[in-house]
Structures are given as C-alpha cells and as structure tokens.
C-alpha cells in the first residue's frame, strides 16, 4: 500500500484541487470540455487512492484495484448531476467503493456469497474505525464493535482471503529459499506409514481365505459378527474366534 507508482501514475505528484476548482471544472466537464474532463479525473485520483487504501488486498495487484476505483470515478463523473447541489466527492465515494468491491468479488477464484462478502467489508470498516481510535483491532474487539459473534468475523475474513501458493517463499537466506510446501507434511503418506502398509499387506496375504473374508466384512464393510456368520455359513462364536485369531496373527507378523 506504500507503492508510489500505480498504473504508470506517480501518485505522489497527483494535483490537489480545491472545492472551488472542483466545482468550476465539473461545470466545464458537463459542458463537454474534454480537456477539463481529463484534468478533473486526474485531480480526483487522490480520492480513489484514499479509498483503495481501505482494502488490504495482500495477494491482489494494487494496480488492478486502483484501476477498478478509477472506473468507478469515471462512472461517477458521467452520472453526476450538478443540479442536485451535493459535493462531487459525496456522490463519488459510494460509486468508487462499489466498483472496487465488485472487482474484488468477481476477481476471487472462489465464489463467496454476497452476504458473506458484505459482512467482510463491514469487518474491514469496523477495524478501520477501531484503529482510528488507537485501539487494538482484535477479532474480539471487532466482533464487539459489530455486535456479532467472533466466529462470524473470522469466517467473513477467511472468505475474502486469497489462496497462498505452495511455492511462495517463507524464508530466504544466503540464496537458500525455503518454500511454504517445505513446511508441510503428510502423516498418512510418510515413509513409516508406507512401510507399515507393505508389512500389513504381506501379513494379510498369509491368512486363509475365510479369515480374509471375515476381516474384510468386519472392518471394511462394517458388518456385525452375526451378519457375517449368516454370510459365511458358520456360527457367530466361530466368527468371533476366527476374527480374534486372524488379528493376533496379523499383529505377530508385523511386530
């Protein structure tokens, strides 16, 4: 957000128009003066920039968000009615904000409902208000400010956060880059688990066909010993005994 040049525009050099200059220019714009229109757009880009800063879009290009805001600014200029008697900025702010929100909503790879996004924007506004009072904008404080549950605040913020690439660097020193994926592990696919799986497969192959079927029906299909006894054609007591023996043999084989 401290970027100076956005979309080829040096924001540090943007002109500052007074209220009287704005009022005089907009009259010329509405009269069809193209040069005044260009001057008016550039002169109000600071308004766009101030609104863009309200959105902490970490993973989205600031240039694109600024462009969306400028589209809103141009729409505001085209639709502004000077006879209404309100300041242009008063009319333009909601138009610019709406265009930025629309870009953020439509540009997200995951589709999130409008209501959740509206809640998220209210969270951002509440956080800004809390920080303006020099208070700590914790989840609990934001929830208290909005009169909602803390879980709702967390859910809304998660909904508008963008996915992080597994190849995003998290540490870099001396040319040795550590990626996010290097910090992830899968306990289910570890070497130890793979070895155990192979050993279990070998031990299972040593069982008799009836013991294999009983274990399959019991632990894969989730059937009771009574159900298995009817399917295999032996008593429930025999099923219980064969199951117990088979499990002991498996445990002995892989230990």
Question: What is the rounded distance in angstroms from the CA atom of residue 60 to the CA atom of residue 157?
Answer: 15
Query: Which phi and psi (to 5°) does residue 252 adopt?
Result: -70, -40
Locate the domains of the chain by residue range.
1-107, 110-184, 187-254
Question: Comparing C-alpha atoms, which of 92, 79, 88 is closest to residue 23?
Answer: 88
pLDDT at 60: 55
pLDDT at 35: 92
Q: How many CB atoms lie within 10 A of CB 50?
A: 13
Question: What is the rounded distance in angstroms from the CA atom of residue 159 to the CA atom of residue 172?
Answer: 29
Q: Which CATH architecture fits 1-107?
A: Up-down Bundle (1.20)
pLDDT tens, position by position, 35-54: 999 999 988 888 888 888 77
Q: State which residues of the chain have pLDDT below 70.
A: 1-9, 55-61, 105-114, 160-198, 254-255
pLDDT at 59: 46
- Helix residue ranges per DSSP H, the chain: 19-30, 34-43, 45-52, 62-79, 88-106, 114-132, 139-146, 150-160, 191-205, 209-219, 225-232, 236-254
pLDDT at 1: 46
Query: Which phi and psi (to 5°) does residue 47 adopt?
Result: -65, -45
Question: What is the rounded distance in angstroms from the CA atom of residue 247 to the CA atom of residue 134?
Answer: 64
Does the predicted TM-score (pTM) go above 0.75?
Answer: no
**Mutual angle of helices 19-30 and 88-106, in 10-degree steps:** 80
Question: What is the rounded distance in angstroms from the CA atom of residue 96 to the CA atom of residue 72?
Answer: 4
For the record, the structure tokens of 134 come out as 């020099």
The separation between the first and the last C-alpha atoms of the chain, rounded to the nearest angstrom, is: 59
How open is the CA angle 188-189-191, to the nearest 5 degrees?
Answer: 120
For the record, the structure tokens of 230 come out as 């009817």
pLDDT tens, position by position, 142-161: 999 999 898 888 888 877 66
Question: What is the rounded distance in angstroms from the CA atom of residue 60 to the CA atom of residue 69?
Answer: 14
Which fold would CATH assign to domain 187-254?
Arc Repressor Mutant, subunit A (1.10.10)
């Amino acid at each position: 957000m401290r970027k100076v040049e956005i979309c080829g525009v040096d924001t540090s050099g943007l002109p500052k128009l007074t209220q009287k200059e704005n009022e005089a220019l907009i009259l010329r714009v509405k009269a069809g003066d193209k040069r005044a229109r260009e001057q008016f757009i550039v002169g109000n880009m600071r308004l766009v920039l101030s609104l863009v800063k309200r959105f902490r879009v970490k993973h989205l290009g600031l240039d694109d968000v600024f462009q969306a805001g400028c589209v809103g600014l141009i729409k505001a200029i085209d639709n502004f009615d000077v006879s209404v008697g309100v300041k242009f900025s008063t009319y333009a702010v909601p138009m610019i904000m709406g265009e930025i929100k629309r870009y953020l909503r439509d540009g997200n790879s995951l589709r999130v409902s409008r209501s959740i996004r509206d809640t998220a924007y209210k969270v951002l506004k509440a956080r800004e208000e809390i920080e303006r009072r020099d208070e700590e904008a914790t989840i609990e404080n934001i929830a208290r400010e909005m009169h909602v549950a803390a879980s709702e605040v967390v859910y809304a913020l998660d909904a508008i956060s963008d996915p992080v690439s597994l190849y995003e660097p998290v540490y870099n020193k001396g040319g040795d880059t550590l990626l996010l994926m290097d910090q992830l592990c899968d306990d289910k696919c570890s070497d130890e688990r793979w070895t155990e799986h192979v050993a279990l497969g070998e031990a299972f192959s040593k069982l008799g066909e009836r013991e294999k079927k009983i274990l399959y029906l019991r632990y894969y299909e989730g059937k009771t010993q009574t159900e298995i006894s009817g399917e295999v054609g032996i008593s429930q007591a025999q099923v219980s005994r064969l199951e117990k023996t088979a499990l002991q043999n498996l445990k002995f084989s892989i230990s």
